Amino acid sequence: MSAPVVEFAGVARWFGTQPVLQGLSFRVEPGQVYALLGRNGAGKTTALRILLGFLQPHAGRATVLGHDCTALPPAVRGRIGYVGEDHRLYPTMTVGDAVEFEAGTRPSFRRAFADQALQRCGLPADRRIPRLSRGQRAQLSLVLAVASNPELLVCDDPALGLDAVMRRELLDALIDLLADTGCAVLLSSHFLHDVERIADRVGILHDGALLVDATLDDVKRRVLRCAWSPRAGSSPPSGPHVLRTAPRRDGHDLTLLDAPPELFAQLRATGELTPPVPPSLEELFLDLAGPERPGILREPLDALAAPAGGGR
Amino acid sequence: MLIRIDPRSPEPLFEQVVFAVKAAVAKGTAKAGDRLPSVRELARDLAINPNTVVRAYEALERDGVVVRRQGAGCFVSDRGSDLAQGEKKKQLLDLMRRAATEAFHLGFTAEDVKKALGQGLDEVQFEGKRRQP
């Protein structure tokens, strides 16, 4: 297997006395699109800032492109593209100036690609930065990051505050980038439908560590949800295949992992069972990271992270 | 060739792409020699990760549905799967067993299943592309 583009091993970080990351571990393989999900404040931005070397981890080790994130040589930084949620650009520049500036600072910058991409987005070169809409600023940031041919693109919620049309355009730009270069992408996002289309692998960050670290295909194949209405006297199932049981009217909502046929047979025998279906990413997210979810079992979900039966 | 998928469906995206192409060939809307959309075209059309399209095309190539010509793209193949006859028969039987089992649990009778199978068969042009086993 080739070396991972990003590797976090037991990364911890406090802000004052408050722990934000508590042993975060994951890796991004070359060419992979990894989506880091989590509620507001879960630690996504902190993780990305550590990756980019803006913050020091207090424990554990983070590496990117084979280098420790706490000591990234400038040349390695140049191989990483970054799109932040606030799309910081110099307000005195025009779109063309921004391209010029970026081309001057990064030797790998592809001028022709940038010009073409901006034309496709309908961004005129003489438009001043302050006159761009939020969506146009996001597009410009992405084009600038992508044009320098990064080996890793890091996007911190790039679609935040964009409408559905602009989000799709951003997605298109990202798809073009992937088709062109096959670079690895690490993104955080709250738009789970977009993530479902584009991510190879998802990590759900909660309380500073990953609850889920699995390919989307694995999630769809191995996790099933169903509603179960027990006959009098039957108690809800438990065990390693039951990720979560939540009370509902007349019974329980069950989230199951790798459930064997015997478990379904038993549930059918002791109550009424709706046909089990894989959860959408949003349902899985709400199940696991939503408020007041005492039923989370860590162990079996960690098993999703193991290569068994999954990965590529 | 029209390829449609549903990103919210429980089925993995790359399997949906594989099935959509297989269905287009089986129904005769794609013929032997037709060029599949390029990875980039299809990824953009469907707004999905190009990696997913690549994996789907690789799976289709393995199954003998498409052939890849260096630099020219993927084309609907004019020959069937390379699997041995015995293996093919086994796969067919497995498929039928699975369908029968699922139908049983949905509460259908054998008659219902036969009727549904007939309908499915009518939609496929068996004399189209495939070499008959």
Query: pLDDT digit string (tens) for A57-69?
Result: 999 999 999 999 9
Average pLDDT rounded to a whole number, residues A222-243: 87
CA distance B28 to chain A (A): 28
Q: What percent of chain A has pLDDT over 70?
A: 92
- Residue B7 has what pLDDT? 80
Check if A168 contacts B (Cβ < 8 Å). yes
A121 vs A302, residue with greater confidence: A121
Residue of B nearest to A280 (CA): B8
CA distance B11 to chain A (A): 7
Q: Is residue A134 scored above 90 in pLDDT?
A: no
Q: Is residue A309 scored above 50 in pLDDT?
A: no
- Residue A227 has what pLDDT? 93
CA distance B9 to chain A (A): 8
- Residue B81 has what pLDDT? 64
CA distance A202 to chain B (A): 14
Average pLDDT rounded to a whole number, residues A60-81: 93
pLDDT band per the 50, 70, 90 thresholds, residue B132:
very low
Domain covering B13-76 in this structure, CATH number:
1.10.10.10
Phi/psi for A2 (5° steps) reads -75, 160
Average pLDDT rounded to a whole number, residues B30-35: 88
Q: What is the dihedral of CA A138, A144, A149, A155, to 10 degrees?
A: -30
Q: Is residue A39 scored above 60 in pLDDT?
A: yes
Cβ pair A244, A234 in contact under 8 A: no
Please, where are the H alpha helices in A122-198? 134-147, 164-181, 192-198
Q: Is residue A7 scored above 90 in pLDDT?
A: yes
Check if A171 contacts B (Cβ < 8 Å). yes
pLDDT band per the 50, 70, 90 thresholds, residue A291:
low
What ranges do the domains of chain A cover? 6-207, 216-305
- Residue A153 has what pLDDT? 94
Cβ pair B14, A163 in contact under 8 A: no
Mean pLDDT of chain B: 85
**Cβ separation of A198 and B55 shorter than 8 Å?**
no
**Cβ separation of A175 and B12 shorter than 8 Å?**
no
- Residue B98 has what pLDDT? 86
Check if B55 contacts A (Cβ < 8 Å). yes
Q: Which residues of A touch B73 (CB under 8 A)?
A: none
Of B11, B40, B48, the CB nearest to A197: B48
Check if A131 contacts B (Cβ < 8 Å). no
A232 vs B61, residue with greater confidence: B61
Q: Of A78-92, A152-166, A266-280, B45-59, which one has max mean pLDDT?
A: B45-59
**Cβ separation of A178 and B12 shorter than 8 Å?**
no
CA distance A224 to chain B (A): 9
Give the range among A27-36, A240-249, A289-298 with minimum mean pLDDT. A289-298
- Residue A72 has what pLDDT? 93
Query: Taking a contact as any Cβ pair under 8 Å apart, which residues of chain A between 14 and 73 contact chain B?
Result: 31-33
Q: Which residues of B touch A196 (CB under 8 A)?
A: 7-8
Q: Is residue B83 scored above 70 in pLDDT?
A: no
**Cβ separation of A196 and B49 shorter than 8 Å?**
no
CATH architecture of A6-207: 3-Layer(aba) Sandwich (3.40)
Of A198, A280, A312, the CB nearest to B49: A198
Phi/psi for B99 (5° steps) reads -60, -45
CA distance A92 to A77: 25
Check if A178 contacts B (Cβ < 8 Å). yes
- Residue B75 has what pLDDT? 93
CA distance A277 to chain B (A): 7
Q: What does the pLDDT look like over B2-31, one tens digit per residue? A: 888 988 777 889 999 999 998 888 888 888
CA distance A187 to A22: 20
What ranges do the domains of chain B cover? 13-76, 85-122
Q: Is residue A305 scored above 60 in pLDDT?
A: no
Q: SS3 for A24? A: strand
Check if A181 contacts B (Cβ < 8 Å). no
The pTM (predicted TM-score) of the whole model is 0.83
Each residue of B6-33: b (16+ CB within 10 Å) or e? ebeeeebbbbbbbbbbbebbbeeebeee
Q: Is residue A296 scored above 50 in pLDDT?
A: no
Check if A258 contacts B (Cβ < 8 Å). no
ipTM above 0.90, yes or no: no
Q: Which residues of B touch A183 (CB under 8 A)?
A: none
pLDDT band per the 50, 70, 90 thresholds, residue A299:
very low
Mean pLDDT of chain A: 86
Structure tokens at A158: 């790039």
Q: Which residues of A touch B43 (CB under 8 A)?
A: 175, 178-179
Q: Which residues of B touch A200 (CB under 8 A)?
A: 49, 51-52
Query: Taking a contact as any Cβ pair under 8 Å apart, which residues of chain A between 77 and 96 contact chain B?
Result: none
Of B7, B47, B50, the CB nearest to A168: B47
